[in-house]
Structure 1
Amino acid sequence: MVVDAGGDLPGLARGGLDAFTAAARAQLPRLGATRLYYAIVRGFFAALADPAGAATQRPGALERVGFLFDDWEHTASRLAEVEARMVGVLDAIGLTALVTSIP
């Protein structure tokens, strides 16, 4: 994951915004996403590369972001599971066509 730089956060920042964006883009399929929100990517990179502030706190902050992504993946997985079960129930009672016709 992009936020897991193996502790080499300065190295991740040295790669520049384009490399960081490419690394973030490579994670899209894992997150079930299709595109980046560039304002967030730029803001995240700016915070990563900023020499000011408490640099010693950045690894912990990025670890928490990683936990957030893990929670997102788990929630998306559970949602897909529930949706599949709902479709199974609709199929069993013959309402799938009706429900899927609602915009």
Structure 2
Amino acid sequence: MEIKIEKTGERQVTLILIGRLDTSVSTAAEREVRPLYDYFEQEIVIDCTQLEYISSSGLRILMHIAQQGWINHCEIFIHGLQPNVYDVFKTTGFVHLFKFKD
């Protein structure tokens, strides 16, 4: 699992997820995404174009990002879900918790 956070605009931050976001990497991944919690009134795009798999542990991390983003008045978007990852979002109801961006 590789995680990158890039400032992609004056009011936009992108979180790039690469590989598999599962239980084996969830503790490290949680630490790596914490800098997102310091952004206020930003657009946060979670780029999943290179995310191959997500488990319930990975979904929990995304929910924490969303919760902190809502507290910080950020707008959270998901971008580029692969079909198998989209199926997980759909099955768990996460498609209703996030906005999606092309």
Instruction: Report TM bin, short chain.
Output: under 0.3
More strand by share: 2
- The structure with higher relative contact order (CA 8 Å, sep 6+) is 1
More helix by share: 1
> TM-score, structure 2 length as denominator?
0.26
> TM-score, structure 1 length as denominator?
0.26
